């Protein structure tokens, strides 16, 4: 299956401002509003619908190389597109942004024909993919992972368990980290079809009521050798290489989304007949200041990426700013909308509860501070 037949909206790759204007005009005349259902099934179906429409219209293909069905151009165009999607609430930004870690991995590490065949399936919304990284025994200490891959003929046989795998139950493929030898240099990545015999997916019940994460069990799963990503032992480098994408484009999307929630909060809170008092103003101001600061920092990171710089441990600063801003925003929502989270079954409830995980996923707040202390402040070993 080749790339879809959509044509490019522009004759040449546009600049950021022209691209943004083009996306906005197109979205103004193409209604992709979700149907209002908040179930995960509905969210995932909506995500596929949005990706497919944007891919067919060409927008989703900018910022990706022609070798995988893209129209080329800088990655910042993907940040702009994601911001427009998030600002209009067309798709949940967490699952929308998964492509930002999955597709670059394929482009950098998959054999080129495999990337050319597969990546368009992801970009066009025809498939969902997942990332099999964390394990029950390997969370913060990811490098200790123990899901084994053992060679058998020209294939590898995988046995073990993953956890916190987003959208595994909807996914056709998985970028999977396995152990093929001891140590950091003994981690090897594979691109696994999720319908391979021996794979069992069990959605995790979480406190916010959306079963976005799953446990994935691998029981003698046979993976062809040609599905290896990179070389044996390159898995740790692959995982580290994802950081620039996760911490730049994904973060820009998420900040845009959080701004929409602040807008929504002040509109909802304004109808309170007592009106805002000084404490309300201070709380809204603090949430706004934290979001604005995060957005400023994220823009600097986008600019460094655009200038060809290699992003590294300094993105832990972005991560801490973002997670702190997110939790402050939802704490403020709980204060300004009394009972909305506890008593009313509004979207604020699930979003508030989900925000509690912001200091845990993607590297905990403590791990980020450890990285900053060691790598940015050069404080030596613990």
As a residue count, the chain comes to 382
Can you tell me which of 41, 219, 220, 263 binds other proteins, judged by CB under 8 A?
A: 263
Strand partners, 174: 130, 192
- Residue 141 near other proteins by CB under 8 A: no
Query: Of the ranges 44-52, 193-201, 224-232, 369-377, which one interacts with other proteins (CB under 8 A)?
Result: 369-377
Closest Cα to residue 49, out of 85, 83, 100, 84?
85
- Residue 379 near other proteins by CB under 8 A: yes
Can you tell me which of 148, 288, 334, 364 binds other proteins, judged by CB under 8 A?
A: 288
Nearer to other proteins, 82 or 230 (CB): 82
Residue 246 annotated in active site: yes
Cα gap 112→66, rounded to integer Å: 12
Can you tell me which of 122, 239, 262, 358 binds other proteins, judged by CB under 8 A?
A: 262
Can you tell me which of 281, 309, 344, 356 binds other proteins, judged by CB under 8 A?
A: 281
Cβ atoms of residues 120 and 64 within 8 Å = no
Q: Binding pattern to other proteins, positions 308-327, x when CB under 8 A?
A: ------x--x--xx------
Nearer to other proteins, 219 or 281 (CB): 281
- Residue 253 near other proteins by CB under 8 A: no
Element containing residue 55 per DSSP (H, E): helix 40-56
Query: Of the ranges 55-63, 141-149, 216-224, 288-296, which one interacts with other proteins (CB under 8 A)?
Result: 288-296
DSSP 373: I
Cα gap 25→29, rounded to integer Å: 7
Q: Binding pattern to other proteins, positions 55-74, x when CB under 8 A?
A: --------------------
Which is the catalytic residue, given 84, 92, 100, 246? 246
Count of residues engaged in binding other proteins, rule: CB under 8 A: 52
Can you tell me which of 283, 333, 340, 358 binds other proteins, judged by CB under 8 A?
A: 283
Strand partners, 162: 216
Minimum separation from the CB atom of position 274 to other proteins (A): 13
Non-local CB neighbours of 295 within 8 Å, separated by 6+ positions: 255, 259
User: Which three-class secondary structure state does DSSP give residue 221?
Assistant: strand
Using CA atoms, how far residue 114 sits from 34, 108, 290, in Å, is: 33, 11, 42
User: What are φ and ψ of residue 192, in 5° steps?
Assistant: -110, 135
Element containing residue 164 per DSSP (H, E): strand 155-166
Query: Of the ranges 32-40, 107-115, 121-129, 267-275, which one interacts with other proteins (CB under 8 A)?
Result: 267-275
Cβ atoms of residues 176 and 162 within 8 Å = yes
- Residue 380 near other proteins by CB under 8 A: yes
Nearer to other proteins, 32 or 266 (CB): 266
Minimum separation from the CB atom of position 284 to other proteins (A): 4
- Residue 23 near other proteins by CB under 8 A: no
- Residue 302 near other proteins by CB under 8 A: yes
What the block records as the tokens of 333 is 């929502």
Cβ atoms of residues 238 and 105 within 8 Å = yes
Q: Compute CA 250 distance to the chain's CA centroid, rounded to the nearest angstrom.
A: 6
Strand partners, 102: none
Query: Of the ranges 25-33, 88-96, 222-230, 368-376, which one interacts with other proteins (CB under 8 A)?
Result: 368-376
- Residue 286 near other proteins by CB under 8 A: yes
How far is it between the farthest Cα atoms of the chain?
73
- Residue 79 near other proteins by CB under 8 A: yes
User: What are φ and ψ of residue 232, in 5° steps?
Assistant: -55, 135
Beta strand 171-179 pairing with 128-132? parallel
Where do contacts with other proteins occur on this chain (CB under 8 A)?
16, 20, 76, 79-80, 83, 252, 259, 262-263, 266-267, 269-270, 276, 278, 280-286, 288-289, 291-297, 299-300, 302, 314, 317, 320-321, 366, 368-370, 372-374, 376-377, 379-382
Residues taking part in catalysis: 246
């Amino acid at each position: 299956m080749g790339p879809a037949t959509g044509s490019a909206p522009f004759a040449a790759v546009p600049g950021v401002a022209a691209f943004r204007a083009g996306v906005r005009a197109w979205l103004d005349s193409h209604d992709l509003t979700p149907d209002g259902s908040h179930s995960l099934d509905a969210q995932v179906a909506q995500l596929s619908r949005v990706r497919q429409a944007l891919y067919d219209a060409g927008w989703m293909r900018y910022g990706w190389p022609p070798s995988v069905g893209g129209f080329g151009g800088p990655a910042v165009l993907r940040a702009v597109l994601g911001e427009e999607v998030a600002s209009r609430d067309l798709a949940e930004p967490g699952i929308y942004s998964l492509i930002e870690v999955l597709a670059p991995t394929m482009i950098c590490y998959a054999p080129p024909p495999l990337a050319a065949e597969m990546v368009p399936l992801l970009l066009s919304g025809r498939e969902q993919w997942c990332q099999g990284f964390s394990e029950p025994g390997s969370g913060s200490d990811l490098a200790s992972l123990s899901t084994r891959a053992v060679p058998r003929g020209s294939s590898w046989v995988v046995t073990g368990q993953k956890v916190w795998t987003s959208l595994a139950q909807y996914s056709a493929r998985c970028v999977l980290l396995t152990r093929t030898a001891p140590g950091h240099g003994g981690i090897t990545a594979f691109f696994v079809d999720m319908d391979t015999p021996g794979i069992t997916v069990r959605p995790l019940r979480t406190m916010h009521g959306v079963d976005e994460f799953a446990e994935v069990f691998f029981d003698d799963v046979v993976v062809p050798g040609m599905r290896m990503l990179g070389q044996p032992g390159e898995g740790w480098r692959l995982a580290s290489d994802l950081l620039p994408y996760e911490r730049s484009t994904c973060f820009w999307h998420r900040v845009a989304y959080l701004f929409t929630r602040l807008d929504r909060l002040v509109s909802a809170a304004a109808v309170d007949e007592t009106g805002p008092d000084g404490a309300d103003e201070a709380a809204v101001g603090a949430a706004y200041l934290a979001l604005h600061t995060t957005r400023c920092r994220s823009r600097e990171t986008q600019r460094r990426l655009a200038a060809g710089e290699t992003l590294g441990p300094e993105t832990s600063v972005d991560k801490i700013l973002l997670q702190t801003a997110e939790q402050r925003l939802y704490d403020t929502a709980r204060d300004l909308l009394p009972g909305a989270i506890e008593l009313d079954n509004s979207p604020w409830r699930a979003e508030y509860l989900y925000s509690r995980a912001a200091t845990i996923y993607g590297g905990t707040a403590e791990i980020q501070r450890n990285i900053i202390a060691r790598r940015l402040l050069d404080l030596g070993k613990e």
